[in-house]
Amino acid sequence: MGSELIFRGHEAQPMADSYSPKPLKPWFYVARPIRYILREQRLVFVLVGIAIATVGFTFFPTSRTSHGNGYVSIPNTFVEHDLAHYSQRPLYQQGVGLKTWNSGGKIPLGLKRKGLRIVVTGGAGFVGSHLVDRLIERGDSVIVVDNFFTGRKENVMHHFGNPRFELIRHDVVEPLLLEVDQIYHLACPASPVHYKFNPVKTIKTNVVGTLNMLGLAKRVGARFLLTSTSEVYGDPLQHPQVETYWGNVNPIGVRSCYDEGKRTAETLTMDYHRGAGVEVRIARIFNTYGPRMCIDDGRVVSNFVAQALRKQPLTVYGDGKQTRSFQYVSDLVEGLIRLMEGEHVGPFNLGNPGEFTMLELAKVVQESIDPDAKIEYRPNTEDDPHKRKPDITKAKEQLGWEPKVSLRKGLPLMVKDFRQRIFGDHKEGGATTTI
């Protein structure tokens, strides 16, 4: 029995003078596959295969763009230079595989859209981190670029370890080389307290930072979305504000680093679009609130919520009759994605038209957290806009978008997040936007 397990290779060694055939001529190796195909009518199968492939490519031509809904189609309003520009893009930008394969406008059922490679500047901040969640959730690869001035690693920490997520500590004022399909450009402090802290840095971020990201978009042929602001309307003389209104902005005031910075960022964006053929989108965001806002960023909603939870008086600036319109963050993220994936450049107002005075807001906060919370009046800040309310007709018509979450529904979600962060209960952290 044991002998059967012994190696027997040596038994098959060739004998010294055994027969060896003559080497074959080279043409024999070339002709062998042809002879194989001719045998047993395999040629017929090859021809049938070629015919099927030809029919497929004739009737299902290659697509040019993809939509956020997972479908792929050629937009009928694509302007000519957009197409020309697009065709010059590298492969990762045009998309490969399923993303470029169009069957009458839609990817066949059961097949998934290929993910895009997307940069979110300011992605560790309040809005950016919620946007990143949505992009990762739908299957894209996301690179967050942030200098952590107002952003926090905690906002994106739940993606660490995901191979589709990258975090780069970088200041957008410095040039950056990356290869991507889309750029959501959010990097810029949004709270007046933060952007007034170092006004020169704020305007550099808006001007040089935006220039760099547009330069990047131009180099790689990426689509670029700028998050501008309702502040471009300044202290508006037209109410509600329509996108065609040019605004009433003080160019030399304490808010100018932000207001004029964003106005210049819009100008740069349009100049790269017209001059360099960069595909751009512009969103004018109105006051937004939700989980992950900086607790002490000085914005009115975060201030009131934190004050009510800490049993401190709510600080109302001025007479409290100035108005703002407050949008819940998930509505904004939906609007941003629709804008990026759609065909229109904008600018688009993205905001909730529900308008509140600061005293009315204080009342909603009292109802939601503490009916006994006191109100304390403080002097108002310089150049504070008296009223603000978006006209969102354009976004409704062209993006099919409108906000869904009222202040009374959204506020409790933010309160839950603030309660956990202020009182140290981290067990349920990583707040999401889910309603």
Active-site positions read 258
241 binds, among ligand NAD, ligand UDP, none (CB under 5 to 8 A by kind): none
Alpha-carbon distance of 255 to 235, in angstroms, equals 11
Piece of the chain touching ligand NAD by CB under 6 A; list 48-56, 167-175, 357-365, 388-396: 167-175
| Residue 94 contacts residue 131 (beta carbons within 8 Å) | no
Is there binding between residue 346 and ligand NAD (CB under 6 A)? no
Of the pair 154, 360, the CB lying nearest ligand UDP is at 360
Helix (H, G, I), strand (E, B) or coil at 289: strand
Question: Taking the complex as a whole, how short is the minimal distance between the CB of residue 85 and ligand NAD, in angstroms?
Answer: 26
Structure tokens at 161: 């370890």
Q: Which residues pair with 141 in a beta bridge?
A: 117
Joined tokens for residue 374: 């006191």
| Shortest Å distance, C-beta 383 to ligand NAD | 16
Shortest CB 423 distance to ligand NAD, Å: 22
Nearer to ligand NAD, 150 or 269 (CB): 150
- In the chain, DSSP finds a helix count (H) and a strand count (E) of 14, 15
- Residue of 147, 241, 303, 325 interacting with ligand NAD (CB under 6 A): 147
The verdict on 173 binding ligand NAD (CB under 6 A) reads yes
Nearer residue to ligand UDP within complex by CB, 251 or 424:
251
Q: Return the SS3 of 262.
A: helix
317 binds ligand UDP (CB under 6 A): yes
Token output for 153: 């690693």
CB 278 within 8 A of CB 224: yes
User: What token pair was written down for 4?
Assistant: 């059967």
Q: Using CB under 6 A as the criterion, what x/- string covers residues 304-343 for binding ligand NAD?
A: ----------------------------------------
Report the C-alpha gap between 151 and 18 in whole angstroms: 80
Q: How far is the CB of 286 from ligand NAD (least distance, A)?
A: 6
Would you count residue 165 as binding ligand NAD (CB under 6 A)?
A: no
Rounded to whole angstroms, the Cα distance separating 353 from 31 reads 76
C-alpha distances (whole Å) from 263 to each of 200, 210, 233 are 15, 11, 9
Q: Please give the backbone phi and psi of residue 221, each rounded to the nearest 5 degrees, phi first.
A: 70, 30
Specify the residue, 167 or 180, whose C-beta has the smaller distance to ligand UDP.
180
Give least dist CB 354 to ligand UDP, A.
Answer: 15
Q: Taking the complex as a whole, how short is the minimal distance between the CB of residue 47 and ligand NAD, in angstroms?
A: 59
268 binds, among ligand UDP, ligand NAD, none (CB under 5 to 8 A by kind): none
In the chain, helix, strand, coil percent, each to 5?
45, 15, 40
| Nearest by Cα to 93 from 187, 180, 197 | 180
**Tokens 């609130």 sit at which residue?**
289
Residue 287 near ligand NAD by CB under 6 A:
yes
CA distance 200 to 209: 13
**What is the contact surface with ligand NAD in residues (CB under 6 A)?**
121-122, 124-128, 146-151, 171-173, 186-190, 205, 209, 227, 229, 285, 287-288
**What is the contact surface with ligand UDP in residues (CB under 6 A)?**
175-177, 192, 211-212, 215-216, 218-219, 287, 298-300, 303, 315-317, 322, 324, 358, 380-381, 384
